[in-house]
Chains A and B, each alone.
Chain A
């Protein structure tokens, strides 16, 4: 019989990180089960480690929450309601920043000990301002996070031009989050996975999960296409599909649902960007092989992963406005991924009361790449019954207990 201490369901960034940290820090017998599904968010991701950017609603969140400049242009002279940047709660800042801090060492460790390279690049994330409204918005962002002022640089038009010469001369300046960087997202997943394998984790790749095995209120394993995998602890890291497994494990529903994001990719270009960029229209990142990645839409359309011209046009126009040189390039590929969304945009982590042998590691919405590292560490701490590096109360699924949705 296949008996493990821990079975991890889902081999995206979060599941693979759990496998890596558990195998690095314990002697437990671990299995990772994964099936590549269409829309898998880790593969679709841009790979931004935008700890501050994402926490204040830029980067991947920028389209979700319209900036002042957008509201003004859409209002066409009408009164614009006062609004604040969409800032996530302090517990999320702590979660994101702690994870972000882990990357430099993690990068070295995976490279030197396991010979895998996830292309960590120190880029910063610049919010480009085109007009007075953008500047007001940037002001609000900065005043909302006084404790992080040392991580923010203001760039005037001249400075921006010297640092990012390909950005449109129409830009009036930028704020730069200096601790926000980027990785290659699928290389990160493959790096965690390969390092975990080298550490002895058994990989059940391309293996379908059929059901959760239970005995009373205890989860005892997974039934898979490769047979039953018994375990003491099951970690649910199945991304946008997490509720399916949760339901089988607990008999209840939790609010994790797919939030579609479309991405546009250019052909390879010479290096035209020194850092990652967010504007009020989109985010833009030049990846390690020269391709320019432009994202992303925010749509609730179930598990649909088709591309649509309206969103691709929106993103492309936003990127061409910022980087006119894109007029000389082609769109090579587009795709769509499914972020595992939750109503409060916080992940769902840890134990479920009344159910033994089960841990949630899901609901990472738009920051699964960034927060995979801390999640792997936290899950390891939970499995080994150590105190956790951060307080997990705000992330427990019980926060939805009285929520009718």
Chain B
């Protein structure tokens, strides 16, 4: 292999950028492909337009954003950015098909790093399709990248550390936050105190966010969650109720809240469509959904293809950086630019950091472990697959009629056959199948080429291969 071949990195978030920077440190060129106009990923991309001040964004976030920028700037002579470029899928041997600049191109890869991140886990409930009902990450993206207020009077419902963070950011942005509803009980969090001490600084940050909320009289309710959303054309009201330890709402105690927008955040799912289309083997994990099988260097079942960051399992940005660096180190070693001893030494340093993050994170994963009560939020006629308008009853009927896997469920109900290719509905459908006891070979909504729709007119062009 020629040493000058660039490593192809899909995704310019924390892990993809960290991998490129590490490769650059050893003078290995790389190409970062990102679908947006800026590197940083959803978490650190920042505003999509130029602005002088960002008073609603906290110092930690601004520091992390500039750290990512610095890592990139330092090695940018080795890093080529392909922004506003989408990967449509593999094309033949060792090539990716890209959509960029209004046409199709192919890009050859020897070493490939997938750092495609995650998407939000959609939880259907009555009224979830009303305008104004948003997922928590989407809410955050509006403040961070769109620089718009997602609503004027909002509630946040879900689980995990993103809830207080977004609540603070919304409040600083001038939104009236009427309440934050965490599904798990406080005593469950208290049990994770030891785990949380693995990252004392993060824990302190969390505590300071909680005191910020308290100071501004934003109520944080443990053991509470969503029941339904109501409104004529737009969201006008949500019902919240106490959740038991299975997250089953006590509907008798449900109370209405007048709001014009909500953020709902019951977790994320690894974004694995490209990895699956490449034929990489995956395993199921409760927290992250399907995740690729990887070795210690984040190399997948396909040689020279690595998967790092949240797309390899959800551990957040700090862990994603470590993973990108480890994969890159391995490539440096494979290319003969780093001896085994040095690489092991470097790797162990990063791994120790990664392990601490993991222990901290696992504490929150246990606290936020998804409970079966969520599955019963939708009523029989609630649409769970919005592309194809499949209802909960269609799914439960099919399962009662003997369907045991996602593919058959798809054939029976059209779930996952729409434009989103199952990104929105398949996690819910999978949980339903698992709850019914079908946890072997349950399958996936198979991602299909092309990963994003492409205009027919693109098919008339002849293809350019990039060198």
Q: Would you call B456 and A333 a contact (CB within 8 A)?
A: no
* A203 interface hit (Cβ, 8 Å): yes
Query: Is A189 an interface residue when CB atoms closer than 8 A count as contact?
Result: yes
Task: Report the bound CA distance from A309 to B458 in whole Å.
Answer: 11
* B274 → A minimal CB distance (Å): 14
A194 to B408, CA, bound (A): 12
B456-A189 in contact (CB<8A): no
User: A330 contacts B91, CB within 8 Å?
Assistant: no
The contact size tier of chain A is: 35 or more
Q: Pick from A38, A197, A308, A326: contact of B456, CB below 8 A.
A: A326
Determine if A398 is an interface residue (Cβ-Cβ < 8 Å): no
Chain B positions within 8 Å of A, measured between CB atoms, are 89-92, 97, 104, 279, 388, 401-405, 407-408, 411-412, 414, 419, 421, 438, 440-443, 446, 448-450, 453-457, 459-460, 463
Chain A residues with CB under 8 Å of B455's CB are: 327, 329-331
Q: Is A83 interfacial (CB 8 A cutoff)?
A: no
Residues of A within 8 A of B459 (CB): 312-313, 316-317, 320, 331
Closest to B452 in A: A330
Answer whether A267 and B453 are a contact pair too, CB < 8 Å, given A320-B459, A332-B419, A333-B421: yes
Residues of B within 8 A of A91 (CB): none
* C-alpha gap A35/B404 in the complex (Å): 10
A309–B89 alpha-carbon span in the complex (Å): 10
- Check B411–A190 contact: CB distance below 8 A: yes
Residues of chain A with a CB closer than 8 A to B442's CB: 206
Pick the contact of B441 from A206, A289, A316, A320 — CB < 8 Å? A206
Q: How far is the CA of A317 from the CA of B441 in the complex (A)?
A: 38
Residues of the A chain whose Cβ atoms lie less than 8 Å from the Cβ of B456: 266, 316, 319-320, 326-327, 329-331
**With an 8 A cutoff between CB atoms, is A205 at the interface?**
yes
User: In the complex, which residues of chain A have a beta carbon less than 8 angstroms from the beta carbon of B419?
Assistant: 267, 332
How far, in Å, is A335 (CB) from chain B's closest CB? 6
A341 to B456, CA, bound (A): 30
Give the nearest-CB partner of A313 in chain B. B459
Q: For A327, list chain B residues within 8 Å (CB).
A: 455-457
- Chain A, range 312-353, C-beta contacts under 8 Å to B: 312-313, 316-317, 319-320, 326-327, 329-335
Q: Are B411 and A307 in contact (CB under 8 A)?
A: no
A230 within 8 A of B: no
Assess the A330–B453 pair: CB atoms within 8 A.
yes
State the Cβ distance, A46 to closest chain B Cβ, in Å.
15
Chain A residue, CB-CB nearest to B412: A190
Contact A206 B408 (CB under 8 A): yes
A43 within 8 A of B: yes
In the complex, the chain A residue whose C-beta lies closest to that of B419 is: A332
Residues of B close to A70: CB separation below 8 A: none
What residues on B are CB-neighbors of A35 within 8 Å?
441
Smallest CB-CB separation from B458: which chain A residue? Answer: A331
A206 touching B404, Cβ below 8 Å = yes
A–B Cβ pairs within 8 angstroms, 23 of them: A190-B412, A197-B401, A205-B403, A205-B408, A206-B404, A206-B443, A266-B456, A308-B92, A309-B92, A316-B456, A317-B460, A319-B456, A320-B456, A320-B460, A330-B455, A331-B453, A331-B456, A331-B459, A332-B419, A333-B448, A333-B450, A334-B450, A335-B448
Q: A309-B97, A327-B456, A330-B453 are in contact. Are A194 and B401 (CB under 8 A)?
A: yes
In Å, the complex CA distance between A193 and B456 comes to 36
CA distance A203 to B414 in the complex (A): 21
Nearest first, the 10 A-B pairs at minimum CB distance are A316-B459, A330-B453, A186-B411, A206-B404, A206-B405, A36-B407, A333-B448, A307-B449, A203-B402, A326-B456
A45 to chain B, nearest CB (A): 12
Least CB distance, A179 to chain B, in whole angstroms: 27
* Bitwise interface map of A from 287 to 316 toward B, beta carbon under 8 Å scored 1, else 0: 001000000000000000011110011001
Tell me the bound Cα distance from A206 to B406 in angstroms: 10
State A186–B412 Cα separation when bound (angstroms).
Answer: 8
Minimal Cβ-Cβ distance residue in B for A190: B412
Beta-carbon contact of B408 and A36 below 8 Å: yes
